[in-house]
Amino acid sequence: MIKVLMVASEAAPFAKTGGLADVVGSLPAALRSFDCEVAVLIPRYRAVDLSSARRIYDSLPVWLGGVLHQTSLYQADAATPFYFLEAPSLYDRDGFYGDSDGDYPDNAARFAVLSRAALAVARRVFRPQILHCHDWQSGLVPVYLRTVFAFDPTFLGMKTLFTIHNLGYQGLFPPVVLPRVGLDRRVFKMDGLEFFGQVSFIKGGLNYSDAVSTVSKKYALEIQTPEYGFGLDGVLRARSADLHGILNGVDYGNWDPQTDPHIASHYSAGDLSGKRLCKQALIREFGLPELAMKRPLLGAISRLTPQKGTELIVEIAPQLTAEDLYLVMLGSGDAVYEEALRAAALAHPDRIGVRFGYDEALAHKIEAGADLFLMPSQYEPSGLNQMYSLRYGTVPVVRATGGLDDTIDEGTGFKFQEYSAQAFLAAVRAAAAAYEDRPGWEAMLRRGIRRDFSWRASAAEYAALYQKLLESGENAASFSRIQHQTHLRG
Ligand code: ADP
């Protein structure tokens, strides 16, 4: 039995803005079959419902930079211990990371407290052998562990894994935050936390953890190149021996057209008739004409950001309508994209339907009702929607990057290489042409539905990596950290 404490900023169903939450929400249960006992710590944002949670720790004080943060701990009523860190002045807000004015100005303290509290949880509540950190919000966990607590016997032999879900979000702050997050200025160096004059929380995760992983094999390679490395490709190349790519899995308990409670009719590879009813319901939901039943209906669900290639969807929208195609899209994010999409829908109300905001039920309806699913991402660490689409018989049209490239092939979808509207449109056209050949199209749907991206394979890889870490003893990285610590003291 390996005990693992995961530290993250989101976990479904308690707090979710994206794929990170899906992973942290469902990986722990999958790991149980591989003899791992996992607990998870996330902040208690206002959105986290405590009605079925119980308070298990009244006072878990966190001292940081001379300030005492009073925190307490709740535990959800679930098979996996999900712990919610309560500190109202830090987390009792509507947004997780910011509001309409942008990122919260105290994010460094908010997530430093989360990271320090994780070590308090590891000391007093759930003592793990592995601390598994996710994204920059937990990047300081390995830093505290290997500096402030380097000689604390409680943590002796504890290993850290840092998983990158998106290298584009790094947690960058001015150097003045260092004392506030309780770190010595001597960590402010190239192979520490310094990043072009700023403090980088993600570099903490990359430089101080025992191993690093990211969420697909292709993305693990891409981030070691300047094109995808966001300035961290050198750091990642230096750690390439400890850098692993493990694809995200799908929680088919939530995403299965045979049982999905959100969709108009259930269906399977053996009987696709229900998919037609789902398409009809979706068309009506968006007020599109019945004529759309005869033509390919394109769907998209995403954060509206440059990463997701939203601009390419905006660019090709007029062309889609000219080619007798239909589009429904759900998203939230940058206002410029919302405006552009709203304008496209206003110009072609009988062709394009858009909905803004976060709507879990509608996301399921789009997955079930669309014929094609669009993901023209600039980069995509893993991507979940293309895997959901396969299971829903909705053929993905994706840019060949990261997890999209690893999960979609000629037999199940359409890929394009160059990040351009032209290349994207060509792939959509190829898909629309294939749609005309009904037997061929249905064979493709069935192949997609039968692909299996469940957590089993990925959980096995994480479990093997945990095991390897525990067997590794004092490796070169920990040795250099001890030297570093000695230097700090000396
Ligand atoms: P990312 O984590 O980069 O946003 P992923 O494809 O890995 O992208 O995961 C996105 C997850 O968030 C999926 O479960 C998707 O259905 C969901 N999602 C994204 N935007 C919305 C939205 N506006 N409404 C409902 N669900 C959404």
Q: Are both 307 and 211 inside the same structural domain?
A: no
Q: Are both 284 and 431 inside the same structural domain?
A: yes
Can you tell me whether residue 212 is helix, strand or coil? Answer: strand
Q: Is residue 268 part of a domain?
A: no
In the predicted structure, residue 483 carries a pLDDT above the cut 80: no
Q: What is the mean pLDDT of the chain?
A: 95
Residue-wise pLDDT tens digits, 77-133: 999 999 999 999 999 999 999 998 999 999 999 999 999 999 999 999 999 999 999
- Quote the pLDDT of residue 484: 52
Q: Is residue 120 part of a domain?
A: yes
Q: What is the mean pLDDT of residues 134-163?
A: 97
Q: What is the rounded distance in angstroms from the CA atom of residue 107 to the CA atom of residue 139?
A: 13
Pair 477, 52: CB distance under 8 Å: no
Q: What is the mean pLDDT of residues 254-275?
A: 97
C-alpha of residue 161 to centroid of ligand 1, in Å = 24
- Quote the pLDDT of residue 109: 98
Q: Are both 47 and 148 inside the same structural domain?
A: yes
C-alpha of residue 14 to centroid of ligand 1, in Å = 15
Q: Is residue 340 part of a domain?
A: yes
Q: Is the CB of 13 under 6 A from ligand 1?
A: no
Q: Are both 392 and 469 inside the same structural domain?
A: no
Q: Is the CB of 474 under 6 A from ligand 1?
A: no
Measured from the CA of 384, which atom of ligand 1 is nearest? 6
Q: Are both 163 and 18 inside the same structural domain?
A: yes
Residue-wise pLDDT tens digits, 439-451: 999 999 999 999 9
Q: What is the DSSP letter of 15?
A: B
Pair 171, 137: CB distance under 8 Å: yes
Q: Are both 383 and 428 inside the same structural domain?
A: yes
Domain hosting 208: range is 2-249+457-489
Q: Is residue 426 part of a domain?
A: yes
Q: Are both 439 and 310 inside the same structural domain?
A: yes
- Closest residue (by CA) to atom 15 of ligand 1? 385
Nearest to 133 by CA among 7, 239, 292: 7
Give the range among 187-191, 389-393, 471-475 with minimum mean pLDDT. Answer: 471-475
Q: Is the CB of 244 under 6 A from ligand 1?
A: no
Q: Is the CB of 448 under 6 A from ligand 1?
A: no
CATH number at residue 347: 3.40.50.2000
C-alpha of residue 332 to centroid of ligand 1, in Å = 10
Residue-wise pLDDT tens digits, 30-84: 999 999 999 999 999 999 999 999 999 999 999 998 999 999 999 999 999 999 9
Measured from the CA of 386, which atom of ligand 1 is nearest? 6
- Assign 479 a pLDDT band (cuts: 50, 70, 90): very low
Q: What is the mean pLDDT of residues 347-375?
A: 97
Could you give the C-alpha distances from 265 to 256, 273, 293, in angstroms and in order? Answer: 12, 9, 16
In the predicted structure, residue 326 carries a pLDDT above the cut 90: yes
Percent of the chain at pLDDT exceeding 90: 95
- Assign 473 a pLDDT band (cuts: 50, 70, 90): confident
C-alpha of residue 350 to centroid of ligand 1, in Å = 26
User: What's at 442, amino acid-wise?
Assistant: E
Q: Is residue 263 part of a domain?
A: no
Residue-wise pLDDT tens digits, 270-322: 999 999 999 999 999 999 999 999 999 999 999 999 999 999 999 999 999 99
- Assign 474 a pLDDT band (cuts: 50, 70, 90): low
The token pair at 41 is: 């710590």
Choice from 134, 263, 301, 359 to test ligand 1 binding pocket (greatest atom count within 8 A of CB)? 301
- The total of structural domains in the chain comes to 2
Q: What is the rounded distance in angstroms from the CA atom of residue 147 to the CA atom of residue 475?
A: 16
- Assign 259 a pLDDT band (cuts: 50, 70, 90): very high
Q: Are both 426 and 481 inside the same structural domain?
A: no
C-alpha of residue 140 to centroid of ligand 1, in Å = 26
Q: Are both 99 and 236 inside the same structural domain?
A: yes
Choice from 22, 216, 329, 364 to test ligand 1 binding pocket (greatest atom count within 8 A of CB)? 22
- Quote the pLDDT of residue 318: 95
Q: Is the CB of 19 under 6 A from ligand 1?
A: yes
- Quote the pLDDT of residue 307: 97
C-alpha of residue 18 to centroid of ligand 1, in Å = 5
Residue-wise pLDDT tens digits, 241-250: 999 999 999 9
Q: Is residue 266 part of a domain?
A: no
Q: Is the CB of 384 under 6 A from ligand 1?
A: yes
- Quote the pLDDT of residue 487: 47
Chain CA centroid to CA 363, Å: 16
Q: Is the CB of 394 under 6 A from ligand 1?
A: no
Nearest to 406 by CA among 162, 222, 213: 222
Q: Are both 341 and 440 inside the same structural domain?
A: yes
Choice from 214, 302, 378 to test ligand 1 binding pocket (greatest atom count within 8 A of CB)? 302
Pair 380, 402: CB distance under 8 Å: yes
User: What's at 222, amino acid-wise?
Assistant: E
Pair 248, 219: CB distance under 8 Å: no
Pair 135, 113: CB distance under 8 Å: no
Q: Is residue 254 part of a domain?
A: no
C-alpha of residue 103 to centroid of ligand 1, in Å = 20
The pTM (predicted TM-score) of the whole model is 0.94
Q: Are both 398 and 484 inside the same structural domain?
A: no
Q: How long a stretch of residues is the chain?
A: 490
Q: Are both 288 and 380 inside the same structural domain?
A: yes
User: Which residues on adjacent β-strands are paired with residue 328?
Assistant: 299, 353
Name, in order, each residue with C-beta under 8 angstroms of 174's C-beta and a sequence gap of 6 or more: 198, 199
Domain boundary among 420, 435, 450: 450
In the predicted structure, residue 11 carries a pLDDT above the cut 70: yes
Choice from 17, 303, 354 to test ligand 1 binding pocket (greatest atom count within 8 A of CB)? 303
- Quote the pLDDT of residue 288: 98
In the predicted structure, residue 151 carries a pLDDT above the cut 50: yes
- Quote the pLDDT of residue 482: 47
Q: Is residue 68 part of a domain?
A: yes
C-alpha of residue 360 to centroid of ligand 1, in Å = 9
Q: What is the mean pLDDT of residues 188-193?
A: 97
Q: Is the CB of 73 under 6 A from ligand 1?
A: no
